[in-house]
Structure 1
Amino acid sequence: MGVIKTFNAKWSDHVTYIKPNDNQMKSHFYKLLLAGTLLTSGNIYAQTAIQANRNVSKITLVQAVEIALQNNISVKQSQVQVQNNDLLLRQAKFNRLPSASSNISESFSFGRSLNPFTNSYDSQNINYNNIGVNASVILFNGSLLKNNIIQNDINLKASQLDLQAMKESISLQVVLAYLNILSAEDQLSIAQSQTEITKLQIERTTKLVNAGSLPQSNVLDLKAQLANEETTVVNNQTILDLNKLTLIQLLNDRSITDVQPERVSVPIPNSQSYDASIAQIYDIAQLNQPVVKAADLRILSAAKGVDIARAGLLPVLSLNGSISANQSNAQKSTRVDGTKDNYLGDVVFQGQTIPLVIKQPNYVSGETIGYFDQLNNTQNKVFGLNLNIPIFSKFQNKTRIAQANLQKINAEFEAQKTRLTLRQNIEQAYVNLTNAAKRFDALTVQVQALEESFRAADSKFNAGAIDYVSYSLQKTNLDKAKANQVQAKYDFVFRTKILDYYQNKPLTF
């Protein structure tokens, strides 16, 4: 389990998880992942693996990344967030359009009812119908609509960068799992090779024992050593199976039950310094890392939030218009049917009472006026401007502005924190890379020396010049040194890719 612990312990030190325009996101992603000769065939890997036989037995690094990104739940959640922010931006733009609504009402009155046309009470049942259309548009609201659009556009870009960062984070996890499998395979190969060597040694020693040159105990000791080495083989196979399980879980495809990663050519570690300093790596990283870009965008979004809050102090000017009409069964047609006397009262003149009577047209009610005729006759059109001037809002606007300023300050702190974390991760990765290279060089020298020492010990043991304990100690030291060398090799490779990632370099092998 040494390889897994070594890689995973440093994974959290160098990869930042978060919650980016699609063409830019895809370009950056493929630039980061597609490597060397894999570039020519990378476009078909995921389709082939998932849709062909739904049973992957051999898989490449690019293919593994494609499948993992396609099935990862966190990536899908980030995609949903991007879609949601895109809808918010569209709605912010739509808010500049006028609003319109219509209304229809119908009422019934029974018994002695108020006639809506004569404004007098009639002893009849009356129904009344009103229809109307209203529209309004904001002419000025302190640039609230404009700033809302800008803020939502910034939020959309920030969420797109969050998605890009999430994809890169998952991609690095896949690379780590992939390298862990290759390392475990090498460890298993070394253990199996040492087991074969021990078996050959048992055969040679048995012949010498039969010839009377060596005691029987030497064979028994070698068989005990073989049993221990076979146990190591089983342990290494278990580590390999667990590493494969980790990759399968990252792929998140139920049809994939076993994987056999394609071998990649990894560079030989060297103790020379990395081709860029910590300061150079950091300068490049803070310009290219999506998590840093997203943090900077959120500062701009918070600044627009302050402008939006200040708009509450300004007047709102809107243009309103409406048209309405009504209809009722109480509105009837009238005609003149002669005249009629209208008695106004009596007047006393020179002691005589004279009645006052005037003649008036005699209006007779006819049929109810037609529905559409009534609507045409009762049309009412209204246009107007509405100016709403805030005078006192119980300090709500002042509080909103203060809160928006605090959010902006907090966003600035978050951006500083992101850069600080980035720099610390780069410094840690650089030191770990340097130490890994030195450790590999030291182990390489150790393996070379132990190989020479073991060859000599093997010859002496066969000749009976040394006992089994000395022989076993030499072989055990050699086996351990070779296993540590493989671990240091892949440790160096992964730490190199961490620094390459921060420099926006492709993960080539």
Structure 2
Amino acid sequence: MLLKPRFVIILLLFSVCTKLYAQDSTLVGKTIKWDLTQCIEYAKKNNIQINSLRLSKQLSQQELELAKAAKLPDLAGSATQNFAHYNNGNNTNGSSSGFSASGNYGLSSSVTLYNGNYLNNNISQKNLGIQAANLNILQQENDITLQITQAYLAILLDKENIIYDTDLVNTSAAQVKLEQQRYTVGSVARKDLIQLQAQQASDQYTLVNVRNQERGDLLTLKQLLILPSDLTFDIVRPDTIVTSQQNVSPLRDAQNLALNNRPEVKSSQLGVQIAQYDVVKAAAGYKPSLTAGGSIGSGYNTGAGNGYFGQFNNNLNEQIGLTLSVPIFTRRVVKTQVEEAKINVEQSKLDLQNTKVVLSASVERAFINVQNAQSQYDAAAEQYKFNQESYRIANEQLKVGVANTVDFLLQKNLFVQAQQAFVQAKYNVILSLRIYDFYRGVPIKL
């Protein structure tokens, strides 16, 4: 599969920009110029999806702490205070009325001694959940890295086109000036001058379009990074960019590296283990559970005599005991939970298989892209070399007045087309090589 044309890539990048990202308010109103590494590092710190996954990891950490705390005994206190009004009309000494108070206070605690190893399995499962959360963060960082690399290279392509097109405009201006002098002295026809003037206007129009394209691509990268709109932003153009690679890693080696190291595969593998723990946890419902508990309490009543502290001492009660719960008939609840968990295991295995298939296909596509891009680059470089020489000769002939204007413009158009194809092929091979190496675990850098 060939690499998509640059304008298609840019449209895709604009669609990506509709996702949520975080802005850094400290950059408002500033002027910055970043290289690719700085862009990637900034995105990793500020991307909202990545930060959202970091919050999900914190939630997983809290779930782990809760699972660990479930093994500890609990402790609860209770207090009941009552006030009553009484009216005793049968008193031999006359009727009497008044208020009485009573209260009961206690502490209770319980701890699970055995429940089919549910608590330990739950802790192990939550640990895997944290590992999976870390891998999800890495996967999202990989995705944003590729998106930014594509946007960055699109801008570099624009900048190189601007250099070439600026040179064409300057050359056209010099040609028109020379032709104007010849027309003034009557050595060339007016149509020849007009043809060169039209070509100069066309070259100027092309240059304007390329500059507009650069502004649009810079905006795309700003939106990917979610930089403030009033920030003046540009990228650093490397002095040299390697466009070829002598030894491209074999496809099978690259696929094995990707399958063994990419976070999406490791995350899917953890997903299988997490699902398997659900089966074990559900099966714990078949087993008995043993709980230890104890309580201490006392109370008083002002109408009972013997004083407040005396009643507390007399009413003090303490107890400790064990509770054994044996499931006998659960109306298929546990069996259903176990079977559903097993189905989820099979689904997670299919997800893992699909992840591997998709990743292997992506690596193979990247490998084919490298081969195609390298072949295109070699052919485009050869075409550019010969058309450049032909254009140089035609330009010299035009200067001395021995070239036909129509033939010169035809040769110039061929040269421009070859130049554009060469520059496009150059950045295609750069992008394809970086993506292929990235799947192999090689960090992206220019």
Q: Same fold (TM over 0.5)?
A: yes
The counterpart of 2:188, out of the listed 207, 214, 219, is: 214
CA distance in 2, matches of 1:416, 1:160: 21
SS at 1:330 equivalent: helix
CA distance in 2, matches of 1:427, 1:452: 38
* In the alignment, structure 1 residue 84 sits paired with structure 2 residue 88: no
CA distance in 2, matches of 1:10, 1:250: 12
SS at 2:349 equivalent: helix
The counterpart of 2:251, out of the listed 274, 278, 302, is: 278
The counterpart of 2:429, out of the listed 492, 497, 507, is: 492
Quote how far apart the aligned CAs of 1:464 are: 5.0
| 2:25–2:228 contact (8 Å) kept in structure 1 | no
Quote how far apart the aligned CAs of 1:506 are: 2.3
| 1:248–1:257 contact (8 Å) kept in structure 2 | no
* In the alignment, structure 1 residue 314 sits paired with structure 2 residue 287: yes
Structure 1 counterpart of 2:376, one-letter code:
R
* In the alignment, structure 1 residue 416 sits paired with structure 2 residue 347: no
Residue in structure 1 matched with residue 101 of structure 2 by the alignment = 127
Structure 2 counterpart of 1:499, one-letter code:
Y
The counterpart of 2:41, out of the listed 36, 59, 66, is: 66
Quote how far apart the aligned CAs of 1:468 are: 2.6
Residue in structure 2 matched with residue 290 of structure 1 by the alignment = 263
Residue in structure 2 matched with residue 97 of structure 1 by the alignment = 72
SS at 1:276 equivalent: coil
| 1:244–1:258 contact (8 Å) kept in structure 2 | no
* In the alignment, structure 1 residue 4 sits paired with structure 2 residue 6: yes
Quote how far apart the aligned CAs of 1:473 are: 1.6
| 1:324–1:380 contact (8 Å) kept in structure 2 | yes
Deviation by residue 1:49-102 (Cα, 9 ceiling, x = unmatched): 986896233212222122222221111101101111011111111111001101
From the superposition, tell whether residues 52 and 431 of structure 1 become closer, same or farther in structure 2 (CA, over 3 Å). Answer: closer
* In the alignment, structure 1 residue 236 sits paired with structure 2 residue 199: no
* In the alignment, structure 1 residue 193 sits paired with structure 2 residue 167: yes
| 1:141–1:314 contact (8 Å) kept in structure 2 | yes
| Counterpart mapping for 1:369-448 below 5 A | 369-370=307-308, 372-448=309-385
From the superposition, tell whether residues 227 and 9 of structure 1 become closer, same or farther in structure 2 (CA, over 3 Å). Answer: closer
SS at 1:381 equivalent: strand
Structure 2 counterpart of 1:444, one-letter code:
A
The counterpart of 1:254, out of the listed 222, 228, 231, is: 228
* In the alignment, structure 1 residue 266 sits paired with structure 2 residue 241: yes
Quote how far apart the aligned CAs of 1:127 are: 3.1
CA distance in 2, matches of 1:398, 1:281: 44
Residue in structure 2 matched with residue 343 of structure 1 by the alignment = none
| 1:282–1:423 contact (8 Å) kept in structure 2 | yes
Quote how far apart the aligned CAs of 1:10 are: 9.2
Quote how far apart the aligned CAs of 1:467 are: 3.4
State the superposition RMSD in angstroms: 2.5
| 1:497–1:507 contact (8 Å) kept in structure 2 | yes
| 1:100–1:135 contact (8 Å) kept in structure 2 | yes
Quote how far apart the aligned CAs of 1:250 are: 2.0
| 2:28–2:228 contact (8 Å) kept in structure 1 | no
Structure 1 counterpart of 2:316, one-letter code:
Q
Q: Which runs of 5+ in 1 are unaligned?
A: 18-48, 114-121, 334-368
SS at 2:294 equivalent: strand
Residue in structure 2 matched with residue 117 of structure 1 by the alignment = none
Quote how far apart the aligned CAs of 1:123 are: 8.7
| 2:27–2:227 contact (8 Å) kept in structure 1 | no
CA distance in 1, matches of 2:417, 2:8: 16
Quote how far apart the aligned CAs of 1:260 are: 2.1
Residue in structure 2 matched with residue 44 of structure 1 by the alignment = none
| 2:60–2:126 contact (8 Å) kept in structure 1 | yes
Q: State the percentage of identical aligned residues.
A: 27
Structure 1 window deviating more from structure 2 (447-456 vs 496-505): it is 447-456
SS at 1:429 equivalent: helix
| 1:244–1:259 contact (8 Å) kept in structure 2 | yes
CA distance in 2, matches of 1:124, 1:482: 108
Structure 1 counterpart of 2:107, one-letter code:
V
| 2:162–2:211 contact (8 Å) kept in structure 1 | yes
CA distance in 2, matches of 1:4, 1:376: 88
| 2:377–2:422 contact (8 Å) kept in structure 1 | yes
* In the alignment, structure 1 residue 166 sits paired with structure 2 residue 103: no
| 2:287–2:326 contact (8 Å) kept in structure 1 | yes
| 2:27–2:228 contact (8 Å) kept in structure 1 | no
The counterpart of 2:116, out of the listed 131, 142, 153, is: 142
Quote how far apart the aligned CAs of 1:454 are: 1.6
Instruction: Say which one has the larger Rg.
Output: 1
| 1:267–1:493 contact (8 Å) kept in structure 2 | yes
Quote how far apart the aligned CAs of 1:396 are: 0.7
From the superposition, tell whether residues 498 and 59 of structure 1 become closer, same or farther in structure 2 (CA, over 3 Å). Answer: same
| 1:133–1:324 contact (8 Å) kept in structure 2 | yes
Structure 1 counterpart of 2:173, one-letter code:
K
From the superposition, tell whether residues 390 and 123 of structure 1 become closer, same or farther in structure 2 (CA, over 3 Å). Answer: farther
| 1:269–1:440 contact (8 Å) kept in structure 2 | no
Task: Give the TM-score normalised by structure 1.
Answer: 0.79
Structure 2 counterpart of 1:479, one-letter code:
V
Aligned length: 427
From the superposition, tell whether residues 286 and 304 of structure 1 become closer, same or farther in structure 2 (CA, over 3 Å). Answer: same
SS at 1:58 equivalent: strand
CA distance in 1, matches of 2:277, 2:87: 61
Q: Which runs of 5+ in 2 are unaligned?
A: 89-95
Residue in structure 2 matched with residue 483 of structure 1 by the alignment = 420
